[in-house]
Every structure is written in structure tokens, then in C-alpha cells.
Amino acid sequence: MTFTPVELEVDTRVEIGSEAVAVAHPNIALVKYWGKRDETLALPVTGSLSMTLDIYPTTTTVRLIEGPSDVVELNGSTATGASYARVARFLDLIRARSGRSEHALVVSANTGPTGAGLASSASGFAALAGAAAAAYGLGADARALSRLARRGSGSASRSIFGGFVVWHAGEGEGEAGDLSSYAEPIGGEALDPALIVAVTDHQEKAVSSREAMRRTCASSPLYPGWAGDSALALDEMRKAIERRDLPAVGEIAERNALGMHASMLMARPPIRYLSPQSIAVLDAVLALRADGIAAYATIDAGPNVTVLCARADEDRVAATLRAVGDFVDTRTAHLGPGATLVPGGDR
Ligand code: PMV
């Protein structure tokens, strides 16, 4: 199984009504991105590594319209306030790059829980970057698209690609930082793990990851330690994927995620995404390991836990997680594809 990056066509015949449709999948980081060194350019403090999933795709259509402002429809409702502003700001970037001024109608449908720490912003902004670049006739190869998606949501830079993906922190500030901070696929698909998503909560989180990162970087004395360790974890993780060492991959991922949450717990004021249900799922993962099953947890900015294991163990792991309580629902994911344009948009 290999995942090749998309290459977008360059086409300058853009007019009102030009439309493109893109699909992208979420990714779950095994070495997390947590903290920006530049907020405007979305340059991360540390590099990160993820697996793109084959579930919960987002499909986004972008059409150029006549009209005084962008119109954004997310999951069937017209977006307003902060979620509208975030999309409109991203379109401003695309307009600046493409030298065009038309507004757009954006229609986006996400099939997973939104804003609940299950990477909906990653699939969302990867699909938006792909569709908007194409609709505005912006020639962008996969690396450029990854840098663009990064500006919408850092983790979206990784969802441009399928399989295992590294997002380089990049070097320097300003343009040098922008050019060097992109994601790329790293191979290693032979590991071919399963990832069980244990959904305990569909609610949107109370503190956005943007705000939580800001607060952690600014005030947690544990943050520098986590960030320093993350660079080492990234190196070790690449090697562990390469040699198909699932227990090592899992151990590194679990430690990195728990460390990220530990650093948040010591922010001022503290941020706590973990719920009693998350802890119950973490206990079940420990019990599985005590039973000899190589299962390892990771948790993003929310209460939901995802559990990495071998495909051969996926049914047992999923059943064990569901047995934790009625509040746990599971979905089983595997390595998934990168963002693609859908034939049918006119571009
Ligand atoms: O992409 P953002 O800005 O929503 O940040 C997401 C950060 C984590 O999901 C917690 C970790 C990661 O690397 O995806």
C-alpha cells in the first residue's frame, strides 16, 4: 500500500462559478504538535508525526461567487462568528496568493465529531486548502498545499498526505520559517496498524486548541521539557515505524501524549481535557497490556482516546474499550489516503 501525494493542476481560467471539490481525512499525531513559535504563520515549536486515517472524511466544495462576502456552510448550517472568520481569513490568504478578489461559497460536510479533539480541523482545512486552491486557479504542489493548510490549522498540513506523515518544524522565522515548515509522507506503511477511536464525548471542547497551546507555552513550566523530549521522540518514532516495532511506536506515542496533557495541567489557569471517561479508557488500555495485548493510547485536545494496536488485535481491543461503559462508542481506523480533488467540480 502506498500513498502518493496529490499534485494540483495549474489553471488560470478562473471565473465566477468556478468550483472545486476536495476530500480529506483526519490524522492522529503519534508525536504531537503542541505550541507555535509564530502564531500568524502557524510555525510550530516542534516537529510532529501522524497517521492519516481512513475514516471520518470531510468533503468541501468551494465556488467563486458574486457578492460582498464569503458564505460558509458547515455541516448544513450557515457559519457565523469565529468559525466563519477562520474560513474567511483562510480564503483571504488564497485570494492574496492567487491575485484574485472574488468571494466564495464554501460548503463543507464533516462525517466525524466536530471540534471534539478528533482532528476535524485537520481534515477540514486540508479539504478547504485543496478545494480553494483549485477553485482560485492557484497552482500548488502537495508541499505548497501542506504549507497553506498549515495556516488554517497546523495539523491540517499533515492531512494533505496519506499514511505516516512528518510535519517539519522548519527553521527560522518569517519566510524562511514558512518555506521550511511543511509535511511530507515518510513511508513505513508495512507497519499497517489499527487505530481504535474510543468516542466518549461528541461535544465541542470548551477551550480551543489554539487558546490551550498559547496558554501552555506561555505559562507551563513543564512545556519546555515536553518540547525538548518531543524532538527525541520524533527521531525514535521514525526508526520504530521503519523497523515495524509496534510496541515501541505505541510507547513513544502514549508517553508523548500524556506529557502534552501533563504540560497543560500545569498551565495557568490549567487546561484539563481528560474526563473521568478518558481515564477509564486509559485504564482499560493498561489492563489490555497486562493481558499481553500491545495496545497504546493517545489523546488529542479533547476527552476522546484513540488506541493503537495490531490489526490482529483490533476486534478484541475495540470490544474491551466498549465494555468500559455505555458512554464508549468505537470506530476502527487504518492508514488512509491523502487529500484528493473530486472529479465533478469543474476544476
Ligand atoms: O491543528 P490544531 O491547531 O487544531 O492543533 C491540534 C493539536 C493536536 O491535535 C492536539 C495534536 C496534533 O499534532 O494533531
**Could you tell me the end-to-end alpha-carbon distance of the chain, in angstroms, rounded to an integer?**
28
pLDDT at residue 10, as a whole number: 43
Q: How many helices (H) and strands (E) does the chain have?
A: 10, 16
pLDDT at residue 3, as a whole number: 40
Q: Which residues line ligand 1 (CB under 6 A)?
A: 29, 32-34, 48, 121-122, 153-155, 209-210, 300-301
Cell of 164: 505516516
The region of weakest confidence among 216-220, 236-240, 293-297, 327-331 is 327-331
Q: How far is the CA of 119 from the centre of ligand 1 (A)?
A: 7
In ligand 1, which atom is closest to the CA atom of 42?
A: 3
pLDDT at residue 6, as a whole number: 43
User: Which among 79, 96, 90 is positioned nearest to 42, based on CA atoms?
Assistant: 90
| Distance between CA atoms of residues 286 and 270, nearest Å | 26
User: Which among 169, 264, 275 is positioned nearest to 222, based on CA atoms?
Assistant: 264
In ligand 1, which atom is closest to the CA atom of 208?
A: 4
Instruction: Sheet containing 27-31: give its strands across.
Output: 27-31, 48-52, 164-167, 183-185
Q: How does pLDDT run across 90-99, given as a tens digit for each residue?
A: 999 999 999 9
pLDDT at residue 344, as a whole number: 67
- Residue 76, SS3 per DSSP: coil
Exposed/middle/buried for residue 83 (C-beta within 10 Å: 0-12, 13-18, 19+): middle
Between 8 and 56, where is the model more confident?
A: 56
pLDDT at residue 116, as a whole number: 53
- Residue 15, SS3 per DSSP: coil
| Distance between CA atoms of residues 183 and 233, nearest Å | 17
> pLDDT band at 9, cuts 50/70/90?
very low
Contact (Cβ atoms closer than 8 angstroms) between residue 104 and residue 91: yes
**From atom 10 of ligand 1, which residue's Cα is the shortest distance away?**
300
Q: How far is the CA of 29 from the centre of ligand 1 (A)?
A: 8
282 pLDDT exceeds 80?
Answer: yes
- Residue 231, SS3 per DSSP: helix
Cell of 117: 479533539
- Residue 128, SS3 per DSSP: helix
In ligand 1, which atom is closest to the CA atom of 27?
A: 14
> pLDDT band at 71, cuts 50/70/90?
very high
Ligand 1 mutation target, pool 155, 165, 223, 260, most atoms within 8 A of CB: 155
In ligand 1, which atom is closest to the CA atom of 155?
A: 1
pLDDT at residue 114, as a whole number: 61
- The number of CA neighbours under 13 Å toward the Cβ of 338 is 28
pLDDT at residue 343, as a whole number: 81
Ligand 1 mutation target, pool 27, 30, 32, most atoms within 8 A of CB: 32
Cell of 284: 482499560
Which sequence spans correspond to the domains of the chain?
19-189, 190-333
- Residue 116, SS3 per DSSP: coil
For domain 19-189, give the fold: Ribosomal Protein S5; domain 2 (3.30.230)
Ligand 1 mutation target, pool 121, 209, 263, 278, most atoms within 8 A of CB: 209
pLDDT at residue 204, as a whole number: 67
| Distance between CA atoms of residues 141 and 4, nearest Å | 12
What is the residue-averaged pLDDT of the chain?
93
Give the pLDDT mean for 1-26.
69
Q: How far is the CA of 78 from the centre of ligand 1 (A)?
A: 25
The region of weakest confidence among 199-213, 237-251, 313-327 is 199-213
8 pLDDT exceeds 50?
Answer: no
**Domain 190-333 listed as CATH 3.10.580.10:** no
Q: What percent of the chain has pLDDT over 70?
A: 93
> pLDDT band at 7, cuts 50/70/90?
very low
> pLDDT band at 11, cuts 50/70/90?
low
Q: What angle do CA 232, 208, 26 make, to 5 degrees?
A: 65
DSSP annotation of 136 reads: T
Residue 199 Cα to chain centre, angstroms: 16
DSSP annotation of 17 reads: T
